[in-house]
Structure 1
Amino acid sequence: MYAIITLAAGLLFGLGLAYSEMTNPAVVIGFLDIFGDWNPSLIIVMASAIAVGMIGYVIKGKRLTPLLASKWQVPTLRNIDAKLIIGSSLFGIGWGISGYCPGPGLTALVNNPSEGFYFVAALIAGSGLHYFQTRITQK
């Protein structure tokens, strides 16, 4: 059942990305270009995502355990440190320059393979660097 729900959630997420045009870098860059040719259409996408998240937290507040797991997996850290600021800044800069974040970037492997390949390669390299850096600093 867990695999079926996970697949359905992934398909729904992918369809939402495609329908909202979040897989189109020009639309994303147009949304982020608030001082230029701004395209505010993704505000509805952002508001919808926030609403779904809020519903999830309401459900979490009313249930002791989730339907398909033994416990809730909710972030517990509340501090804002240099790693968070640097990581989120790098994510935002990369998103603003390329118009891709990880979900839409993976769809680019099909929609726009030449750009998608470079994005996914950089995503894997960055993730690998983080993984090895974390392992080295923990020893």
Structure 2
Amino acid sequence: MAIKRKVNANWKGTGTEGKGHLSSPNNFFENTPYSFKSRFENEDGKSGTNPEELIAAAHSACYAMALSVEISKAGHTPDEIDANAEVVLDKEGEGFAIKEIKLTVKGKVSDLSEEKFLEMAEGAKKGCPISKALSAVPISLEASFEA
């Protein structure tokens, strides 16, 4: 059975001066604004979200869950997994391209070795469905561990 998720993007106006809103059936996105400024001028939160921030949110959430599943399969319960994803957008020719995604994770798991945690962290990076979908972009991982 395929699981389907939807988000609608509505844009009005030109690419640089227009504005858009995102909406989803579950109302997580409920007329959430996005704009050229929020995407290309580093106006964090002032003009709404942007596609790269949404990719980072999806990737960090997927990765944290995938790592938790890996740890659980090994018979351990994670105390905490704190994952961040940084999507790097840069100029390329006449446009822009996502050049890199930097995953950073801090894990706290009782009764697990740091070596095993780091191995699982790398495995989760490769196995996370969002990592797989974004495999055209270099994805780095920096992991730290607390027993």
Which TM bucket (shorter chain)? under 0.3
Query: TM-score if structure 2 supplies the norm length?
Result: 0.26
Query: TM-score if structure 1 supplies the norm length?
Result: 0.27
Higher RCO (C-alpha 8 Å, min separation 6): 1
More strand by share: 2
More helix by share: 1
